[in-house]
Homo-oligomer: A and B are copies of this chain.
Amino acid sequence: MKPITHQWTAVIRRQSPARLLLLSFMAMIATGAFLLMLPVASRKGALSFVDALFTATSAGCVTGLSVLDVAETLTPFGQGVLLTLIQLGGLGIMTLSTLLILGARGRVGFAGNLIIQDSFTHSGKKHPASILRSVIQVTVVIELLGALLLFSRFYPGSPSLGHAAWLSVFHSISAFCNAGFALYPDSLTRFRGDLLVNGTLAFLIITGSLGFLVISELQGKCRPGRWRWERFSLHTRLVVTTSAILLLSGGLLMLLFEWNNTLFGLSLPRKILAAFFQSVTLRTAGFNTLDFGVMANGTLFLSMILMFIGGSPGSCAGGVKTTTAATLFLMGLSRLRGAAHVSVFSRTIPAKSVEKATHLVMMAFVVVICGTLVLLSSEMGELTHSQSRGRFLELLFESVSAFGTVGLSMGVTPTLSTVGRLCITLLMFVGRLGPMVIAVAVSRDIAPRHRWAEEDIMIG
């Protein structure tokens, strides 16, 4: 056995981190799709290849978009496969992105050293295996806590203890991994006034979207009496501040736009609860307690912006990430002030990171635009103009949701054509892994090669 294992290890070691990331996700999704195609996975006859691939990608990339009703169509075996994909995908993304950031494989020339010093050097947790262990520990503890809280709500009135336990575990994992799969046909709309369910899920989603390094730094330094904002790394301060701003402003705007719409008829505390839960889940969990199909256009546009930004790096959340959005915002500010560098909290963000952020957002725009164009040609069918006008918003929303691995939908997912399903599958995959691959690729030190003479052009 040993020589073969050794051979395999050698093959794996020879791959670049980016390729390894892509290959491992492809293998996981292919296995998942194969298992979901087995007759034992579905109650309504075996799934087609495209649907199985779509569902496996959506689970593995923790997106939550679904062409089928998970609770009704999938058997317990199928649901188990789905949950395994979510958990593996979530753990994989957290661990791999943390490793990529820390440059633990010794190949990535990433300047994450200050973060390493702050969070890891003192405890010696620098080895890949020990990081994976810590990630799993944190995940299991938080998910168990979430499942227990949910169980206390789901058990009374449930047909069996097993069923209540399954519901609790499923939704806890789905929330912490920011996957957004729910075992109810209306997502979580029925719980929109329930403080316990909303609070638990919001806690799971937020901790799941902050990123492992932030969690472990908060955990390590947040002892009573030792709390000092300046002691935290720039990364953690930026992540916490940006997340708080996005959550609060998202909730307030949601409240404002939907007051007389989807929030109509709810009491004031429930209005506030529903609006803030929706703001939490937009980045990028993908549960919904309100119906996105009937929201106001302004809300939907705002939602797309929040979905596009998404969560923080090194977490299960998707999108271009909070730090990217913050960096670009700060870059704009520093330009307006005529400053040469991008700074915040008495620190300068390195030019390399600013460049990485602009690349990432450009790539994201191009991918979403191309995806929308494909959907616009594949999903129009025989509609007349007045019927088809609304489709534009629905399909743009679907593209952004898939790219940000959010999983919210205005309701078009089950109606997609085969081309549309494949397009969304690809968008989810690119949206999940693209940002990480770009972060690695841009930070690679490029060997100086042959270079042409400079000649300027006019811009603007």
Contacts of A205-258 to chain B: CB distance below 8 A? 211, 213, 233-235, 238, 257
Q: Which residue of chain B has its CB nearest to the CB of A314? A: B458
The interface residues of chain B lying within 8 Å CB-to-CB of A390 are 386, 389-390, 392
A360 touches B459 (CB 8 A): yes
Q: Is A131 an interface residue (CB 8 A)?
A: no
Give which listed residue, B238, B360, B457, B459, contacts A234 with CB less than 8 A.
B457
The interface residues of chain B lying within 8 Å CB-to-CB of A346 are 452
Q: Which residue of chain B has its CB nearest to the CB of A357? A: B459
Give which listed residue, B298, B313, B363, B451, contacts A332 with CB less than 8 A.
B363
A111 touches B456 (CB 8 A): yes
Q: What is the interface of chain A mostly: helix, strand, loop, or mixed? A: helix
The interface residues of chain B lying within 8 Å CB-to-CB of A391 are 297
Nearest 4 Cβ contacts at the A-B interface? A389-B390, A439-B460, A435-B460, A313-B458
The interface residues of chain B lying within 8 Å CB-to-CB of A365 are 365
A436 touches B460 (CB 8 A): yes
Closest-CB distance, A193 to chain B (whole angstroms): 23
Given contacts A297-B376, A335-B442, A435-B460, 20 further A-B contacts (CB under 8 A): A112-B456, A234-B456, A234-B457, A297-B380, A298-B377, A298-B380, A313-B460, A321-B460, A327-B459, A338-B444, A340-B448, A340-B451, A341-B452, A343-B451, A343-B452, A350-B454, A356-B459, A358-B358, A389-B389, A439-B458
A449 touches B238 (CB 8 A): no
Closest-CB distance, A118 to chain B (whole angstroms): 9
B296 touches A457 (CB 8 A): no
Chain B proximity mask over A358-375: 1 for CB below 8 Å, otherwise 0: 111111011001001100
A122 CA / B350 CA spacing, docked (Å): 43
Give which listed residue, B101, B331, B332, B454, contacts A458 with CB less than 8 A.
B101
Q: Is A134 an interface residue (CB 8 A)?
A: no
B446 touches A302 (CB 8 A): no
A347 touches B297 (CB 8 A): no
Say yes or no: A356-B460 contact (C-beta < 8 A), given A340-B446, A343-B451, A448-B340: yes
B323 touches A335 (CB 8 A): no
The interface residues of chain B lying within 8 Å CB-to-CB of A361 are 362
Q: Is A441 an interface residue (CB 8 A)?
A: yes
Say yes or no: A332-B388 contact (C-beta < 8 A), given A298-B377, A327-B457, A460-B435: no
Closest-CB distance, A344 to chain B (whole angstroms): 9
Q: Is A339 an interface residue (CB 8 A)?
A: yes
Contacts of A365-417 to chain B: CB distance below 8 A? 365-366, 369, 372-373, 376-377, 380, 385-386, 388-394
A348 touches B454 (CB 8 A): yes
Q: Is A324 an interface residue (CB 8 A)?
A: yes
Closest-CB distance, A93 to chain B (whole angstroms): 12
B456 touches A115 (CB 8 A): yes
The interface residues of chain B lying within 8 Å CB-to-CB of A338 are 441, 444, 446
Closest-CB distance, A216 to chain B (whole angstroms): 14
B362 touches A332 (CB 8 A): yes
Q: Is A419 an interface residue (CB 8 A)?
A: no
Say yes or no: A455-B332 contact (C-beta < 8 A), given A298-B373, A298-B377, A392-B297: no
The interface residues of chain B lying within 8 Å CB-to-CB of A111 are 456
A328 touches B362 (CB 8 A): yes
Q: Is A305 an interface residue (CB 8 A)?
A: yes
Say yes or no: A455-B380 contact (C-beta < 8 A), given A335-B442, A460-B320: no
Q: Which residue of chain B has its CB nearest to the CB of A372? A: B301
